[in-house]
Amino acid sequence: MRGVVGHFRELDSAVEAIEELKQSKLGDLTVFTPTPRHEFEHALHPPKSPVRKYMLFGGLAGCVFGYWIAVWASNYWPLVVGGKAFSSWIPYTIFGFEVFVLVGALSTVAGLFIHAGVPRLTMMVGYDPRFSRGDYGIWVECSPDRLAAAEALLRKHGAVEVRGDR
Amino acid sequence: MATIAYEPRRPNIASANVQLPAVPDYEHVDDAIIATLKPTKAWFAMLMTAIAALGLGVAAFLYQVHQGLGVAGYNPPVMWGVYIITFVFWVGIGHAGTLISAILFLFRAGFRTTIYRCAEAMTVFAVMTAGLFPIIHLGRPWKFFWLIPYPNWRLLWPQFKSPLVWDVFAILTYLTISSTFLYVGLIPDIATLRDRETNPVRKRILALLSFGWRNTEREWRHFARAYLFLAAVSTPLVLSVHSVVSFDFAMALTPGWHTTIFPPYFVAGAIFSGIGMVFTIIIPIRKYFKLQHFVTINHLDAAAKLCLATSMIVGCAYLIEFFIAWYGGVQVEQDFFWNRVFGQWWWAAWIMITCNMILPLTLFSQKLRRNPAWLFILSIFINIGMWFERFVIVVPSLSHEFEPWMWTTYAPTWVDYSILIGSFGWFFMWFLLFVRQLPVIALTEVKEIVPPRLKHAHAHTPANAEDFEPEMPGDR
Amino acid sequence: MTIPVETTNGVKRRDFLKVLGVTGAASTMVGCSTDQVEKLIPYVTSPDHTVPGVSNFYASTCRECAAGCGIIVTTRDGRAIKIEGNPDHPVNRGAVCARGQAALQGLYNPDRFRGPMQRQNGTLVPITWDQAIDALHKGVDTAMKSGKAKNAVFINQHEQGLLHTFLDEWLALRGMPAHISYDAEAPFATVAANRAVYGVSWPKLDFGAAKVIVSFAADFLDGWGLPVPQQLDFAEARGRIEGAPRLIYIGPRRPLTGLNADQWIPAAPGTAGSIAKMLAGKMSAADAAAATDIPVKILEGLQKEIASAKPSLLVAGGTGPRALDLATEVNQLNKALGNVGVTIKPAESYGAWEGVVPPAVLNDVVAAMEAGEVPALFIRGANPVYSTPTGLGFAKAAEKVPFKVSFSTVPDETTALCDLILPDHHALESWGIAEPVQGTLGLQQPAMDPVFNTRATADVLLASLKPAPCFACPENPAEAKQHASDVSKFPPDYRGVVAKHLGGNGNLQNALPTGMLAGSLPRRTAPVAKIMKPAIVGEQNGDYYLATYWNLLMGDGRGANKPWLQELPDPVTKICWQTVVEMHPETAKKLSVEAGDHVTVKTVAGTVTAPAFLYIGVRPDTIAVMVGRGQTAAGRYATGTGHNAWSLLPASNDQAGGYQLVGVRCTVAKADGHTPIVTTEGSGRQHGRKIARAQTIEQFRAGETDHPHTFIGQAPTEFLPGLRAPVANDAQGELGDPKSAQRGEYDPNHPSGRAKRRWAMTIDLAKCTGCSACVTACYAENNIPTVGAEWQGPQLFADRKFPGANITRSREMAWLRLERYYEMDREYKDATWDPAHHPEVRVIPMMCQHCGNAPCEPVCPVYATYHTPDGLNVQVYNRCVGTRYCSNNCPYKVRYYNWFGYGEVDRAQYAFPEPLHWQLNPDVTVRAKGIMEKCSFCVQRIRDAETLAKVQNREIQGDEFTTACAQACPSRAILFGDAADENWSVTKLIEDRRAYHVFEELNTYTAVVYLKKINHPAPAGATA
């Protein structure tokens, strides 16, 4: 399936283009922006990101492990030190916490990678280095018969350049 | 149809939407910051100096390993010395980064934006440096891994009640998380570098390092979320790490160590020293790379306020220590504190008090807060002062304990000093390499606070002379 | 079957194997002399009594000083590894002093002569024994032919026994005069006075029987007389608490006896005599006060006290010019007071000083040598070149002697002069006999084969008689025949001599196991010295008196080549590896000198420049310097360590012919330079920490106690009886609760049964005198390295190149240390002089307290230290990574760290250069670089006893064994045992009224219980 990608110099024109594209339902949109802008979120209404769940479950797992390794190891070979209980759970909270943070944070990053679809080795079609510099891009993926309409729409909203791609 | 309005106003540096009026557009951000990545003679000179210092440290360490710790200045019962002091010193410095990038991020304190990358890198390298010292100070450094719980056929495990094992967990976690945090933040910037890069080889490498990041709105959405949660979880981590380090002392019954105030006191001290080091690093950078219009006086001003606040917390902690020593009525404790301030160790204690309590009070003056030169000088004093704070905690306590018969003194030797210098070499070697390879100011985050290009620029007034803060209030 | 192994220079294991290799050893022990064949032979036929890894014990007699204590030498696989007291011996009753234990380091001294040597054009070169004996012939022969044989001089280190007679007989045969039995340490004045008044040279002093003891400058707990028996009696008496004697010390300097005294009367040097006169009523208190520079009130108090307190015991030491007057006066006084027979028992006299010759005879010897009249000089053991006043000029004179032979075992200044070295066996390798107590003979038997290629002097002398043609034989056949018969009456060797005296080999063999038998030796009428009037050569000037002294460790210099003794701090000054000039802080202020600044002391005889040391226990008009260090040719440990105080002494004697050590005038001047004081002392005051506690006898009677049977935070004790902190109880977790399932080995019902026990120690500070013998015992038992030698300091540190450099960084490794605290309210430098008031002194042995709640344990990240079920706080060397956190968290600061590879052969800091490492205890690890170590309560002995009990299928008996320190302790202050088992004596003392724990408030529940010292203030009427 093919589509067109429009370059926008200005933020507001890109946003307007998106809003109209969404109404006209020409096809799927992918927006490129050098820096995250809330305007796009308002325009696209995407679902909430699920990465926070990774943090939750990864963290809990880590916490459990942190506690467990300390308690198990102290009871595995019981030796009295300083007349303290073999497994003194209070200080072991430190292990619970530290491993909670460790695993939680790492799994968050894992979640980011999974959902953002990185790492990837090839640039996807429609990407242009300028999108990381200052320009906004909108990649409309649609059936060939709608390409013209999409292109027209993009240009109408002031896309400085529109090119087809596949 | 969306209405986007920007009202020009004096930037409120406490809020997230601080503005950089002198930065016209995104392209300028790229050009200005990527321009800093060109190596220069001065840079090479500094790098060589750092490596030479590191070499000195390594040589001293090898000599120590061969001869035995006796070549260091240890004077039993002062069994801990320069190495532990320097360890705590670097860990402390390693706190500013995550603090600025995580805590200030949650608080939406905008002034962090331009300095946090620098601070984070500093954090990672500082912790990398700190992590060496517990090993350097071991009697048998080649056995350091015995502190790490790993399955082994001898079925031996570390002793989980020991604060040193807590340290291992805390420091390793902190190192992992802060470097992860740093790298995640770097990914879009590396992508930007990739797109600006002309040299195909470097381009390829950067492409790999950026994981093929392509700035789609979808990536940004998850990115923002992940970043938020990383910040959320790093915040308690920052607080926990130095608390755990403080347990090394607080858990002992040594007079001067055995006190419950240590965790908050250490955390405040850590942040204080960290910000000091941020100043020491960022002020020369912004001057040298001409980034004053990115790292503005407003930002320094705000950071200085934070510095002042933490300095006062630390100072308060000092006083409370003395008060409790007197109020607690334990004679051993009282003797010790007297000896710390008016006895054997008065000079160290007063260096500490002067540098950490008295000099920072100058930051009450806005004139000085907005004077980078003074901030730089002050930051040097803070670094010295904070090193001596740890000295005052470690050495006088051990040299003046319960047994009068075992009261001694302590004097480091050239081995201690060489390794101390080496640690700075190690730290700055990494940092110098960093500033030449990766942007010291976060490209994409700066772009967030730079006004975007708009078709209908009706409401927006572009940058003009009024909004550009001069180095000193008043002068142009 | 034999496995050849390549030769090597001193690898422990290989030496060990060499030992196993020796088969069919003739004597009762296997040997390990260095000329053993390098073969490995398994035990097809094992040496007698030798099982690898099992110790053999040999009863013998100590020859380190004249006392002749009975010792038991532990040998393992043919090596002597430990010296302990012989419990059945009448002199020392199982105790042994530091010097006695250090005999091992004389035996294994790395600088010992490996074999006979001869001086050939200036340097000593090794020769064979045949050549050596041949050379001895020729020398003796020429001497005899010279016709001056009657002037020949044989100086022998004084020792009891048959050698006296043997030597004299041999010399007589050569037409030479009787030998000089030389001992610089002998208290001649006292001996002479004793002979005069009591009729014996050294009566038994029964300190226990006395109500008050007055010591006139007699340091009977440290260097004077027979330290061990005196200390035993004294400590026993003081330990009685009720009716314990009060001790008063009179003398210009406050030595160990002075520190233990309840009252110190700092009489001016050499004036103690007037106090004796006063007590005898021959002088008024006022005059005495004027003479001694002591407030008259004090002397009157003393008068009253002596008058009232009966019986009393007055002992006179003193090395001043009028020492004999003093001693005689005091002995008369004892007679008058009726102490003779009560506290002084001539009937039970000691043989220590029988036959000792006053050094004054050396004056004539030197004169003769100067005149070139002396054809031959024989020296055995003694070191007159060093241990005589330099003013005497012995060395210069000796050079004029054509033929100088030394039989010494170790090189020293005297052997450096000699032409022929015929090294004797060390005492632990030789046969001998002594009569330490009248009517009892102590045997001396070899504990091992000779380490080196040495020979017993007597055997050498005998051999020199035998071979023909006999150079020395007269030409006249008749005389030759006579001579031959004279020769033939000698037994073949010295062992034969001993056996002959005992009436046959059989008697000797039977006596060996105990090392003692009834009998006596021929009394020797020593040539009496020409008693000279005390006259000091050269005119006396200087504003200060010089008081030189020796302590038990260095002695007259004989201890200086033994690292244990160098490293063991002086019990009083706590100085090691260094000679200091002791002066009162006021004197120092006057000279504007601070501790460590170099000062020059000058007398008519010479000068010494040494660091100044501020000592509050010396009169402001007196400068004290210890002799015994500063040797120039006495081996690696002694040479260049400290300064030689002998060089300050003019050739002057007291009336009895002993050296005058006190009362020479000297000047003191500040010199440039500063050397850190090599001391183990941090602060000499307790700062109110209540570490060493004491109470007066009144307080004790009043029942004052620091020993609450319950205190806040105390753990319940039903789980283990005995000590208030049983190990399993202070575990506040599962272990605290007896119902807990998960206690493992910590469960008293566990098969190991360890948790039933609780090893503990009590230390009675009323007995402890601070002599530090326990410290050396600990060094010997636990392979503790000495770290003070110059080359053991950190290399590449120019400023640290002096002996004791490591100690100045307080890196000494003494697991057990003696802390000496003055009860004063200011630093030494601010101390002021008041002849009437002197701070009380308390000594306390401090070692690992084996806390029930040990602070060191929970901070170790790798379980390198943890608590055993039987209450030991153990250190696992192999697991230690060296974080040193345990030491930081130890309130008692008793953990010691291996800063260097003291145990590693290839290092500059190696502490056991061959063959010193032969002494190492095979049961104890030699610790590696970078790990922590500490007192283990001699865990090896505990486990040994447990194993033995298991093997014999029985329980451990009460007081079955004890730790090294407790075994050696000459005051019997230390007691070790199982606090949970009523059969052990410790359990009684733990509940004693005087018992306390140090730093109880820290809730460490220590296993070491101290018993408070008891002070005996002057009774009402007498002022103190």
Chain B hits for A32, CB-CB cut-off 8 Å, are: 214-217
- Residue B191 belongs to what domain range? 54-449
Low-confidence residues of chain C: pLDDT under 50: 1-41, 469, 711-738, 1022-1024
Is B152 within a domain?
A: yes
With 90 as the cut, is the pLDDT of residue B56 above it?
Answer: yes
Nearest to B253 among C817, C891, C932 (CB): C891
Give the amino acid at C863. Y
Neighbours of C479 (CB within 10 A): 12
Please report, rounded to a whole number, the percentage of residues in chain B having pLDDT higher than 70.
92
Give me B350's structure tokens: 């007063």
Domain definitions of chain A by residue range? 3-46+127-165, 51-116
- Check: CB of residue C675 under 8 Å from CB of residue C599: no
Question: What is the distance of C-alpha C624 from the center of its chain?
Answer: 21
What pLDDT is stored for residue B471 in this prediction? 40
Could you give the number of structural domains in chain B? 1
Q: How far is B80 from chain A (nearest CA, A)?
A: 21
Chain A hits for B232, CB-CB cut-off 8 Å, are: 55
Task: List the chains bordering chain B where 3 or more Cβ pairs fall under 8 Å.
Answer: A, C
Is B9 within a domain?
A: no
ipTM score for this prediction: 0.90
Give the sheet arrangement for strand C117-120, strand by strand: C123-126, C117-120, C420-421, C403-406, C376-380, C153-157, C180-182
Query: Does the beta-carbon distance from C682 to B406 stay under 8 Å?
Result: yes
What pLDDT is stored for residue C355 in this prediction? 85
Question: Which of B173, B178, B237 best probes binding to A when mutated, by most A CB atoms within 10 angstroms?
Answer: B173
CB contact C744 to A (< 8 Å): yes
Radius of gyration for chain B, computed over Cα atoms and rounded to the nearest angstrom: 24
Alpha carbons C419 and C455: distance in angstroms, whole number: 18
Chain B hits for C899, CB-CB cut-off 8 Å, are: 68-70, 74
Nearest to C884 among B79, B144, B161 (CB): B79
Query: Does the beta-carbon distance from C857 to A88 stay under 8 Å?
Result: no
Query: Does the beta-carbon distance from A108 to B2 stay under 8 Å?
Result: no
Q: Peptide bond preceding A119: is omega within 30 degrees of 0, i.e. cis?
A: yes
Cα–Cα separations (whole angstroms), residue B1 to A19, A48, A158, C156:
8, 23, 15, 120
Which residue in the block uniquely carries the two structure tokens 């557009």? B25
Q: What is the pTM of this model?
A: 0.91
Q: How far is B15 from chain A (nearest CA, A)?
A: 17
Nearest to C852 among A78, A83, A86 (CB): A83
**Domains, chain C, ordered by start:** 55-107 (2.20.25.90), 117-185+356-518 (3.40.50.740), 188-345 (3.40.228.10), 544-674 (2.40.40.20), 694-823+848-1015 (3.30.70.20)
What pLDDT is stored for residue C26 in this prediction? 35
Alpha carbons A32 and A11: distance in angstroms, whole number: 11
Is B398 within a domain?
A: yes
Mean predicted lDDT score pLDDT of chain B: 87
Alpha carbons C129 and C124: distance in angstroms, whole number: 14
SS3 C767: coil
What pLDDT is stored for residue B29 in this prediction? 87
Backbone dihedral angles phi then psi of residue C312, each to the nearest 5 degrees: -120, 175
What pLDDT is stored for residue B4 in this prediction? 46
Residues in contact with C920: Cβ distance below 8 Å, sequence separation at least 6, in sequence order: C12, C81, C783, C912, C926
What pLDDT is stored for residue A83 in this prediction? 76
With 90 as the cut, is the pLDDT of residue B364 above it?
Answer: yes
Chain A hits for B149, CB-CB cut-off 8 Å, are: 69, 73
Residues in contact with C391: Cβ distance below 8 Å, sequence separation at least 6, in sequence order: C537, C604, C605, C606, C649, C650, C651, C652
Closest CA to B408 of B416, B418, B397, B420: B397
Give the residue from chain A lying closest to C860, CA to CA: A81
With 60 as the cut, is the pLDDT of residue B366 above it?
Answer: yes
Q: How far is B353 from chain C (nearest CA, A)?
A: 25
Query: Does the beta-carbon distance from B407 to C881 stay under 8 Å?
Result: no
Alpha carbons A110 and A87: distance in angstroms, whole number: 33
Q: How far is C860 from chain B (nearest CA, A)?
A: 6
B57-96 residues labelled b (16+ CB within 10 A) or e (exposed): beebbebbbebbbbbbbbbbbbbbbbbbbbbbbbbbbbbb
Alpha carbons C818 and C776: distance in angstroms, whole number: 11
Chain A hits for C856, CB-CB cut-off 8 Å, are: 82
- Condensed to tens digits (0 to 9), the pLDDT of residues B30-52 reads 888 888 888 889 999 999 999 99
* Residues in B 46-75 with any Cβ partner in A closer than 8 A: none
With 70 as the cut, is the pLDDT of residue B464 above it?
Answer: no
- Check: CB of residue C620 under 8 Å from CB of residue C544: no
Please report, rounded to a whole number, the percentage of residues in chain B having pLDDT higher than 90.
62
Query: Does the beta-carbon distance from A75 to C742 stay under 8 Å?
Result: yes
Q: How far is A72 from chain C (nearest CA, A)?
A: 13
For C148-192, the DSSP string reads -GGG-EEEEE--SSSHHHHHHHHHHHTT-PPPEEE-TTS-HHHHH
Q: Treating both helix axes as pointing N-terminal to C-terminal, what angle do B372-399 and B262-288 enclose, rounded to 10 degrees?
A: 150
Backbone dihedral angles phi then psi of residue C511, each to the nearest 5 degrees: -80, -20
C973-986 residues labelled b (16+ CB within 10 A) or e (exposed): bbbbbbbbbeebeb
The DSSP letter of residue C979 is T
CB contact C858 to A (< 8 Å): yes
- Condensed to tens digits (0 to 9), the pLDDT of residues A25-40 reads 888 888 998 888 888 8
* Dihedral angle over CA of A48, A54, A56, A58, nearest 10: 180
The size of the A-C interface in CB pairs under 8 A is: 56
What pLDDT is stored for residue A12 in this prediction? 87
What pLDDT is stored for residue C391 in this prediction? 85
Q: Peptide bond preceding C469: is omega within 30 degrees of 0, i.e. cis?
A: yes
* Residues in B 17-36 with any Cβ partner in A closer than 8 A: 25-27, 30
Question: Which of A72, A75, A76, A80 best probes binding to C when mutated, by most C CB atoms within 10 angstroms?
Answer: A80
With 80 as the cut, is the pLDDT of residue B414 above it?
Answer: yes
With 80 as the cut, is the pLDDT of residue A160 above it?
Answer: yes
Task: List the chains bordering chain C where 3 or more Cβ pairs fall under 8 Å.
Answer: A, B
Q: How far is A88 from chain C (nearest CA, A)?
A: 8
- Condensed to tens digits (0 to 9), the pLDDT of residues B301-320 reads 888 999 999 999 999 999 99
Query: Does the beta-carbon distance from A105 to B233 stay under 8 Å?
Result: yes
Closest CA to C597 of C576, C617, C618, C583: C583
Alpha carbons B69 and C84: distance in angstroms, whole number: 35
What pLDDT is stored for residue A84 in this prediction? 79
Neighbours of A122 (CB within 10 A): 8
With 90 as the cut, is the pLDDT of residue B251 above it?
Answer: yes
Is B116 within a domain?
A: yes
Q: How far is B66 from chain C (nearest CA, A)?
A: 9
CB contact A80 to C (< 8 Å): yes
Query: Does the beta-carbon distance from C806 to B68 stay under 8 Å?
Result: no
Who wins on pLDDT, B99 or B458? B99
Alpha carbons C117 and C111: distance in angstroms, whole number: 14
Query: Does the beta-carbon distance from C884 to B398 stay under 8 Å?
Result: no
Query: Does the beta-carbon distance from C731 to A85 stay under 8 Å?
Result: yes
Beta strands in C862-1016 (DSSP E): 865-867, 873-875, 895-897, 932-934, 974-978, 995-996, 1008-1011, 1013-1015
Class of domain A3-46+127-165: alpha beta
A153-163 residues labelled b (16+ CB within 10 A) or e (exposed): bbeebbbeebe
Q: What is the mean pLDDT of residues B123-145?
A: 94
Query: Does the beta-carbon distance from C861 to B165 stay under 8 Å?
Result: yes
Question: Which of C886, C889, C895, C1006 best probes binding to B when mutated, by most B CB atoms within 10 angstroms?
Answer: C889
Give the residue from chain A lying closest to B443, CA to CA: A35
Q: How far is B52 from chain C (nearest CA, A)?
A: 22
SS3 C449: coil
Give the residue from chain A lying closest to C854, CA to CA: A82
CA angle B118, B123, B125 (to 5 degrees): 95
What pLDDT is stored for residue C533 in this prediction? 55
Question: Which of B152, B403, B414 best probes binding to C when mutated, by most C CB atoms within 10 angstroms?
Answer: B403
Q: How far is B404 from chain C (nearest CA, A)?
A: 5
Query: Does the beta-carbon distance from B160 to A91 stay under 8 Å?
Result: yes
Question: Which of A8, A92, A95, A112 best probes binding to B when mutated, by most B CB atoms within 10 angstroms?
Answer: A112
Closest CA to C215 of C160, C150, C155, C259: C259
